[in-house]
Amino acid sequence: MAGGAVTIDLELGDLGLDEGAQLLIKRALASASEVRVRGTSPTLAVDLPAWCRARGHVFRDGVIARGAADRTPGAERAGSIERAVDDPPARWGLAARGALVEAGAPELELALSHKADVWADEAARLYAQAAAAQWDPATAVPWDAPVTHPPEVEDAIVQIMTYLIENETAALLVPVRFLGKLHPHFREVMQLLAIQAADEARHIEVFTRRAKLRRDELGLSTAGGQTSLATLFDEPDFAVASFLLAVLGEGSFLALLWFIRDHAPDVCTREVARLAAQDEARHVAFGLAHLARHAALDPGLLDRLAAAIERRHAALAHTSGLNELVFDALALLAAGSWGPADLRRGHAAVVALAAEMDAGRRARLARLGFAPDAAERLSSLHTRNFM
């Protein structure tokens, strides 16, 4: 025995190193510097020297002397499980928050690695809410409910669904593009963005399914609508994209979904709108929460956000705004018939919807810290496409 070395005996029985015996050996080596191994596995005499050699242990006369191979020098904790640090280093990579990270791991390109840019204390709570509120499209919507409204109203619903699907596609893809750049250390934000994407996937499913209930084809996707969404899709700044999509776009969309919930003639359409609105409210809440926190830490943020609205407004100035078919479809949906009195009511409801959207945007802009006159002006510049 070497000076100070502790030797213990390990009996492997007939368990071979190709059957898990290495676990017993490692366990023994964790508690003693030398382990005398006995066993009856027919390949033990071949496997033991080879196993020891590859791990830096010395094997002689049936005794393993523990080698010095240790992966932990230089390792560091990736923060703590519960609390995210302000600037997690790229070398923590994909490691779980709080894990002991071996030194020398590759550094990932993670553009969103500052807590100030992405964090909201509400993220964990919103994620938990979202996880608990996931609904099954197959059973949550009464797909067999009767449809008794006129065919033209059904056409209007299909046009609205067509519009909703393309907007929800943007709402899925825009956060996902940032999700891939987010430092996984911000676990709660990562989880929340992921479940938001799952929400949007379900919305796309139920809107598609609703459109197919009575029709084989979808409605029109306009160049103007897609141009508006493309300005979101191409936005490289997380705060700006989040502002345009969640605070302004999805915020306006909330009012739209409530409108459909309240005015749709059939229970199925009302229900898909109600379920989607529930989810969208969380998305808006997260956008507001992390931008409010970000704005408190970065006084220049509000100016950047305001400039982004103006830039987007200028970029979309040449487009036709809201798909007229969608506007008409919403009016007909609210009217429920071609009767002049009904149409007047439906038209008035859509005008009121636009006013409600504007009021909602101004309220959310104010929550972020914009003065009332700035909020009013910026809200008026928001895309006429709603999203």
Cβ–Cβ under 8 Å, residues 273 and 257: yes
Which segment (31-39, 102-110, 193-201, 288-296) binds another protein by CB under 8 A? 102-110
Q: Is 45 an interacting residue with respect to another protein (CB under 8 A)?
A: yes
Among residues 5, 6, 8, 103, the one that binds another protein under rule CB under 8 A: 103
Q: How many residues lie near another protein (CB under 8 A)?
A: 26
DSSP helix/strand/coil, 260: helix
Distance CA 315, CA 382 (A): 12
CB of 91 vs another protein, minimal distance in Å: 10
DSSP 10-36: EE-TT--TTTTHHHHHHHHHHH-SEEE
Residue placing its CB nearer to another protein in the complex, 67 or 369:
67
Binding mask 74-93 for another protein (x = CB under 8 A): x-------------------
CB of 105 vs another protein, minimal distance in Å: 9
Q: Is 296 an interacting residue with respect to another protein (CB under 8 A)?
A: no
Cβ–Cβ under 8 Å, residues 1 and 66: no
CB of 101 vs another protein, minimal distance in Å: 10
Among residues 33, 63, 67, 114, the one that binds another protein under rule CB under 8 A: 67
Q: Is 42 an interacting residue with respect to another protein (CB under 8 A)?
A: yes
Query: Which are the contacts of 144, defined by CB distance < 8 A and separation ≥ 6?
Result: none
Residue placing its CB nearer to another protein in the complex, 53 or 212:
53
Distance CA 363, CA 345 (A): 26
Residue placing its CB nearer to another protein in the complex, 23 or 371:
23
Q: Is 328 an interacting residue with respect to another protein (CB under 8 A)?
A: no
Q: Is 107 an interacting residue with respect to another protein (CB under 8 A)?
A: no
CA quadruple 313, 315, 320, 325: dihedral sign:
negative
CB atoms within 10 A of CB 373: 8
Residue placing its CB nearer to another protein in the complex, 35 or 368:
35
Q: Is 215 an interacting residue with respect to another protein (CB under 8 A)?
A: no
Which segment (39-47, 157-165, 260-268, 379-387) binds another protein by CB under 8 A? 39-47
CB of 300 vs another protein, minimal distance in Å: 38
Cβ–Cβ under 8 Å, residues 157 and 264: yes
Among residues 2, 30, 68, 132, the one that binds another protein under rule CB under 8 A: 68
CB atoms within 10 A of CB 148: 8
Distance CA 300, CA 296 (A): 10
Distance CA 330, CA 160 (A): 7
Distance CA 302, CA 317 (A): 22
Residue placing its CB nearer to another protein in the complex, 40 or 380:
40
DSSP state letter for 92: G
Pairs from 104-107 (Cβ < 8 Å, separation ≥ 24): 104/74
Q: Is 121 an interacting residue with respect to another protein (CB under 8 A)?
A: no
Positions that interact with another protein (CB under 8 A): 16-19, 42-43, 45-47, 49-51, 53-56, 67-71, 73-74, 102-104
